[in-house]
A = this chain, B = another copy of it.
Amino acid sequence: MSASPVTLRVRVRYAETDQMGVVYYANYLIWFEMGRAEYCRQMGFSYANLESNGFRLMVADAHCRYKAPARYDEVVRIETSIQELKKKTLVFGYKIFNDTTNQLLAQGYTKHVCTDLQGKLVRLPESFMACLLPSSPGAHA
């Protein structure tokens, strides 16, 4: 849906490994979070801002498929794109690569809904949606 994915590189921390000698599986969801924050940032929209304006982006759904392990000290590349954008839901897609070998390590998505500070479901703010897909014709209509 979005033109090209937004890229973020991150070096694997010792804290992220487990006794199998690879990155513990839950930590990929942290990389996903970093990926979508970077996506927003590069679109000129800080996620921190969204919160200070009274909105929260809750995760409704998360999925990750693990292809190959990431290891300590490697640099992984997180590629984030928007897979779906509706009035009330937003789906980010992610691919995690070993940045040296370009091997695909994992891929997944997170689905989000927007709430106000009381937790009530609301529409995604217009200004946020416009930022997320700046180059799409529809966004400027």
Pairwise interchain contact B19-A72, C-beta atoms closer than 8 A? yes
Asked if A133 lies at the interface with its beta carbon under 8 angstroms from chain B, I say: no
**Chain B neighbourhood of A60, CB < 8 A:** 65-66
Option from B14, B66, B110 in Cβ contact (under 8 Å) with A24: B14
**Chain B neighbourhood of A19, CB < 8 A:** 14, 17-22, 51, 72
Pairwise interchain contact A61-B59, C-beta atoms closer than 8 A? no
Known: A18-B17, A73-B48. A66 touches B56 (CB 8 A): no
State the interface size on chain A (CB cutoff 8 A).
38
Residue of B with least CB distance to A26: B29
Pairwise interchain contact A15-B15, C-beta atoms closer than 8 A? no
Asked if A88 lies at the interface with its beta carbon under 8 angstroms from chain B, I say: no
Pairwise interchain contact A56-B14, C-beta atoms closer than 8 A? no
**Chain B neighbourhood of A30, CB < 8 A:** 13, 15, 26
Option from B29, B46, B69, B110 in Cβ contact (under 8 Å) with A73: B46
**A72 and B17 alpha carbons, distance in the complex (Å):** 13
Among A14, A15, A22, A46, the one with the most B-chain Cβ atoms within 10 Å of its Cβ is A14
